[in-house]
A and B are shown apart, each in its own frame.
Chain A
Amino acid sequence: MALLSVKDLHTRYGTGRQVLRAVDGVSFDIERGETVGLVGESGCGKSTLGKTVLRLVPPAEGEIRLDGVDITRLGDRAMAPHRRRMQMIFQDPFGSLNPRQTIRTVLDTALKVHQQGDAGERRSRLQEIIARVGLPADSPDRYPHEFSGGQRQRIGIARALVLQPALIVCDEPVSALDVSIQAQILNLLVDLKRDLGLSYLFISHDLSVVRYFADRVLVMYLGRIVESASHATLWRDPRHPYTKALFAAVPSTDPTHKRTAPSIKGELTTTIASGCRFASRCPAATDRCRAEEPQLRSVGEGHHAACHYA
């Protein structure tokens, strides 16, 4: 049984005629100890998907199962024990920390809310987690502004870990960090996963980071998964034209390896016509693509793509 199982999930914003289908029929599983990468451009719905899975945004339709338990429509009280099992790390480590709370308050509040241990136990858990994420031992009594960007992200990681979750949704965890700090944080996330048996849903627009960090990758476009495969398969044999275009757009750090493929035209829009959502930007679109929406289908071992011609 998968740790997390999502079936035909829909999330909508707005009401009446002004409805944005941010997540529009998404299904996937995350196994224990697995890292699933979720890539796509801004506005494609990847953050909304992450938040819906955590029940931070209400799902409109579909099913979310954690350890086999359907949590899609649980009330606040029934949801509480499940919330402890799923945590989130945010992109902006400063924006997601209260500037007027010490690190101790930030971490202790999570433990108190979930009634984890007495004051002594909480204090030792706190010290343990501070050391585990590589923060100095005197950190608990300091405020967020006293830390650098990389250290603040370590605080964000400590807050997610302090409740000993099984699944962590990482929403662009290294995008706001400098290159020299990115490697430190990625290595820390790898160590934590190995030592604590964590599963990650790793949301990022940075394909190089996802290629390094994920076991399996979902490519999202306008609210739908257009391709999914193991990291090795996806980079060796991308099938969806959107995946290919994304890969071609990443600038290589080898200056002797100049980009040859022209960049795809246009940008992500939020208006969805009939047929394939990518058809208006696709270099290989046909009449069939404009009329009939392709469904995600198997194109190889553990490899799915939503393209008529994949």
Chain B
Amino acid sequence: MNPIPVPLLEVDRLTVAFPGHVAVREASFAIAPAETLALVGESGCGKSVTAFSVMRLLPPNARVASGRILFDGNDLMTASRPEMRRLRGRHISLIQQEPMTSLNPVLSIGVQIGEVLRRHERLSRRATRARVVELLDLVKIPDAHRRIDDYPHNLSGGMRQRVMIAMAVACHPKLLIADEPTTALDVTTQAQVLDLLGDLRRELAMAVLLITHDLGVVAQWADRIAVMYAGRIVERASIVPFFARPMHPYSHGLLGARVDVDAEEHYLTDRLTEIPGSVGSAAGETGCSFAPRCPMVQPSCRLAPPPLLELADGRAVACPITAAQTGAPHGAAVG
């Protein structure tokens, strides 16, 4: 059963290897047009590598060992470099965590946003400038006429991230990849930037691949979630059922270990639930990579990595133990 009839982006059994290390293993997921999918996991779990694979911006020592990435019907793995250059910035855009390191410090923000427009559309200088002002208005930068000639160092962190967003949405992309877009920002600025992204997504009918480790951000701004652990997707679900009933023991552990601002927990009365060990314990594990930390581990978990089992309602979980507890698997293993 496929929950998404016509996906905009389909990543199919993607495996990405670095020398001596496999960063992504058989990852499969899809994003429908105008949908926000959150890709969640700890640092080093492979979520950014997955994003860079979609952009075909992997470092030279990385190798896509297997898998397909279909975007709007085109196979990105076989696309030529000129074809990729036409896609990037126009149909697929990327914003990253640190706006300061993504912006060129010696060019004004107007020039940098304009460059994206002129790269993809035939525009005069004057028309470009007018469009840039519109874009700055769109991302709610006050005084766009004056701000257009500012340099990145003139702007605060939140404003810089708005500039990055303006650049990313300049050509109305179908897919925006946001890699930890608010991790470097304060909580009040984070809310502003994510609200802006939510508005733009609706206005431009844009799909978003939101990479984050913050479950609050996921709960408030995403439609669906894919949880990654040690390079594998271990669970996929819609947001409400996921938070109501996480299925993979790792997802369960993550939700238990978080400090929830709504819960009236205090150290004097409640102890936080820990996930013992660290991701490093997955090294050398032949079976499920979470087995060394899992409270429900069975001898069979250590034999082979469990496949991602498709369940009802578009849910999928890579744990035969919890899948069996919640009823028979709905379909065949997919990856």
* Residues of A near any B CB (own CB < 8 A): 35, 41-42, 148-151, 178-184, 186-187, 190, 205-209, 211-213, 231-232, 235, 245-259, 262-265, 267-269
Contact = CB atoms under 8 A, between A and B. Distances in A.
B260 interface: yes
A253 B187 contact: no
B315 to A, nearest CB: 15
B278 A253 contact: no
Contact of A251 (B192, B217, B259): B217
B269 to A, nearest CB: 10
- In this complex, the member of B186, B239, B264 whose beta carbon has the largest number of chain A beta carbons within 10 angstroms is B186
B213 A208 contact: no
Contacts of B12: none
Interface string B183-217: 00011111110110000000000000000011111
Given A187-B274, A245-B188, A250-B187, A213 B258 contact: no
Contacts of A252: 216, 219-220, 260-262
A182 B156 contact: no
A249 B254 contact: no
Contact of B253 (A180, A246, A255): A180
B274 A263 contact: no
Contacts of B218: 253
A251 B254 contact: no
Given A206-B187, A268-B156, 10 more contacts: A178-B42, A181-B42, A182-B259, A183-B275, A208-B258, A250-B216, A251-B219, A253-B258, A263-B192, A267-B158
24 contacts: A148-B279, A178-B42, A178-B43, A179-B258, A183-B259, A184-B276, A187-B272, A205-B186, A212-B259, A212-B265, A212-B272, A246-B188, A248-B191, A250-B187, A250-B216, A251-B216, A252-B216, A252-B219, A253-B255, A257-B262, A259-B191, A259-B220, A263-B195, A267-B186
Contacts of A182: 257, 259
- In this complex, the member of B159, B240, B243 whose beta carbon has the largest number of chain A beta carbons within 10 angstroms is B243
Given A187-B272, A211-B261, A250-B216, A255 B243 contact: yes
Given A182-B257, A187-B271, A251 B220 contact: yes
Pairs of residues from A and B, 4 with the lowest C-beta to C-beta distance, nearest first: A251-B216, A208-B261, A178-B42, A263-B191
Contacts of B239: 255
A183 B219 CA distance: 20
B254 A212 contact: no
A114 B22 CA distance: 47
Contact of A209 (B259, B270, B276, B280): B259
B262 A178 contact: no
Interface in B89-117: none
Contact of B216 (A232, A245, A253): A253
A263 to B, nearest CB: 4
A179 B214 CA distance: 8
Contacts of B219: 251-255
Nearest to A188: B274
B20 to A, nearest CB: 16
A232 B266 CA distance: 9
B154 interface: no
A246 B261 CA distance: 12
A184 B254 CA distance: 12
A32 to B, nearest CB: 16
B257 A183 contact: yes
A254 B191 contact: no
A274 to B, nearest CB: 22
Nearest to B184: A42
Contact of B273 (A149, A183, A207, A255): A183
A207 B278 contact: no
Interface in B166-191: 186-191
Contact of A268 (B159, B186, B213, B267): B186
A207 B257 contact: no
Contacts of A254: 219, 243, 260, 262
Given A255-B240, A256-B240, A267-B156, A184 B274 contact: yes
A178 B258 contact: no
- In this complex, the member of A35, A207, A267 whose beta carbon has the largest number of chain B beta carbons within 10 angstroms is A267
A249 B158 contact: no
Contacts of A181: 42, 278
A251 B253 contact: no
A249 B272 contact: no
B266 A180 contact: no
Nearest to B156: A267
Contacts of A246: 187-188
Nearest to A212: B259
A168 to B, nearest CB: 15
A255 B220 contact: yes
A150 B257 CA distance: 14
A184 B276 CA distance: 8
Contacts of B43: 149, 178
A35 B192 CA distance: 31
Nearest to B215: A253
Contacts of A245: 188
B261 A207 contact: yes
A32 B302 CA distance: 49
A213 B267 contact: yes
A41 B240 CA distance: 30
Contacts of A179: 42, 213, 215, 254, 257-258
